[in-house]
Amino acid sequence: MVKFLSLSEAVAENLNDGDTVAFEGFTHLIPTAAAHEAIRQGFRELTLIRMTPDLIYDQMIGMGMARKIVFSYVGNPGVGLLRRARDAIENGFPREIEIEEHSHAGMANAYEAGAAGLPCAVFRGYRGAGLAAVNPNIKSVTCPFTGEVLAAVPAIKPDVTFIHAQKADRKGNVLVEGIIGIQKEAVLAAKRAVVSVEEVVDSFDDLHPNLTVLPNWTIAAIAVVPGGSHPSYTHGYYVRDNAAYLEWDDIAADRDRFQAWMQKNVIDKSADDFAARVEHLRTAA
């Protein structure tokens, strides 16, 4: 049964050292507050899964939390590199990490397979690409009906998935609006799911029935965290903080500056601070 908890309680109850975990979001609804809470609680030996790792995975990798990352793109969107991730991959700082790279199609299909309870995903993909040569989890199978050779990858089944969303109702159902990305499938594929939301409303009765609603039986815990996806945006609430993404490139380029920034802006803060961070971004939403 879904629980309404503080974010610190939700993370502590559902994330463990050594877990395979997805902090999913695409362009908006990136669960920054949840990732920062995991950093504060000091989890280690995590396998981090995400189609498009950006700032939060750069921060988690830079803090030494990741044993492995599974991804289909690594970068600071619109800016360039993830410098802490690159330092870990190339120089083993602050620790060596294993990488498993896929295409977007490969990961999307793997999440869908996990959500459906299947052992693997089969699809047309990786043709003309070299990823299969460096990723042993990319296989090929022959269709028994047509003889076509298809790509196959293991289903993604996280121990826990974290997402951010606009609303939950008092029964624990979750509403996701705007760009959905892979959030729905990431929740359905996971053993446990934690959702941070902008607000809780009485019901969704007055909303369009085709909006994406994750029923309460798919969710382990909900935490109300206004502004919880900053510096990404939450459709209908606040816009993207582009300046923060540009600033991050300079911060992450220097190991000492990165550590100082993390101490001041993550370790010494709490989820309650996110609402103030988006106040200047709300009027344009």
130: pLDDT strictly greater than 60: yes
pLDDT computed for residue 213 by the predictor: 87
285: pLDDT strictly greater than 60: no
pLDDT tier at 191, thresholds 50, 70, 90: very high
pLDDT tier at 107, thresholds 50, 70, 90: very high
Q: With CA atoms as reference, report the closest residue to 162 among 191, 119, 203.
A: 191
Q: What is the pLDDT of residues 156-165, one digit of tens each?
A: 999 999 999 9
Q: Work out the percent of the chain whose per-residue pLDDT is above 70.
A: 99
pLDDT computed for residue 248 by the predictor: 97
Q: Indicate the range of 110-114, 207-211, 232-236, 243-247 predicted with least confidence.
A: 207-211
Q: With CA atoms as reference, report the closest residue to 55 among 89, 25, 15.
A: 25
Q: Indicate the range of 74-83, 251-260, 261-270 predicted with least confidence.
A: 74-83
pLDDT tier at 180, thresholds 50, 70, 90: confident
Q: What is the pLDDT of residues 8-31, one digit of tens each?
A: 999 999 999 999 999 999 989 999
230: pLDDT strictly greater than 90: yes
pLDDT computed for residue 221 by the predictor: 98
Residue 79, C-beta contacts closer than 8 angstroms, at least 6 positions apart:
245, 246, 248, 249
- Report the chain's mean pLDDT, rounded to a whole number: 95
> What beta strand segments (E) does 170-219 contain?
174-176, 192-201, 212-214
Tokens of residue 30, six digits: 């990136």
Residue 23 is inside which H or E element, if any? Answer: strand 20-23
Residue 60 CA: distances (Å) to CA of 27, 154, 166: 19, 25, 24
Please state, in angstroms and rounded to a whole number, the distance separating the CA atoms of residues 180 and 29.
9
Per-residue b/e over 137-150, b at no fewer than 16 CB within 10 Å?
Answer: bbeeeeeeeeeeeb
pLDDT computed for residue 223 by the predictor: 98
- CA 30 vs. chain centroid, Å, equals 6
Contact between 197 and 171 under an 8 Å Cβ cutoff? The reply is: no
pLDDT tier at 283, thresholds 50, 70, 90: low
Tokens of residue 233, six digits: 């945006």
Contact between 193 and 219 under an 8 Å Cβ cutoff? The reply is: yes
Neighbours of 50 (CB within 10 A): 24
User: Hey, what domains does the chain have and what are their CATH numbers?
Assistant: 3-102+157-281 (3.40.1080.10), 104-154 (no CATH)
